[in-house]
Chain A
């Protein structure tokens, strides 16, 4: 019963470094999402994917890239880390179709850029 799994749980980066946040789900959900949550704030959508090979921008995509080569995996890439990207990142998935389902979230990745 893994659900949505995110790695790593914590990471500290230096300005200008790059990294990939991993996300995998085992529920065969077609939709996947990346959100960021800044301290004391709600969630903002970075990117989403409606299926393998298809991705689209959310509200705050600048500074990030995504890919969806398989149904299960949806990695988020930061190319040039900036202090403004210090946040908690959540990956989520849902089934959208004849029976729309709610989003299921991973446990989050806490990222600090110093």
Chain B
């Protein structure tokens, strides 16, 4: 069975601090996809990144970076030099390749508050 855990319910940081959001997943498939979505206060869901299980390279996009470690089943998300606009709920999600599209499993989300 698939499962995504985001143990941090809420995080508060001061602007310009770095912050890491944790995501731990469970799957029996050897091929799967991991995702991060951002939900700002306005409520929409914004796709940030997708990573497949064969690609363990870390990825950096501006102030955002992702650390994928299969050995620990983790796909953590780091925001460097956080800004107030980063305040949002962040969701990690998983979809197994064997039934891709039929079952995206979302974690409960981490609410990030960046204080000025």
Chain A interface residues (CB < 8 Å from chain B): 31, 33, 41-43, 45, 48, 50, 56, 58, 88, 90, 92, 94, 96, 100, 102-108, 110
Contacts and interface: CB of A to CB of B under 8 A. Distances in A.
Contact of B108 (A42, A45, A58, A104): A42
Nearest to A9: B43
Contact of A103 (B47, B102, B108): B47
A50 B102 contact: yes
A94 B101 contact: yes
A41 B89 CA distance: 10
A105 B101 contact: no
B106 A102 contact: no
Nearest to B102: A48
A90 B33 contact: no
**6 pairs of A and B residues whose beta carbons are closest in the complex:** A96-B101, A105-B45, A42-B106, A42-B108, A43-B106, A31-B101
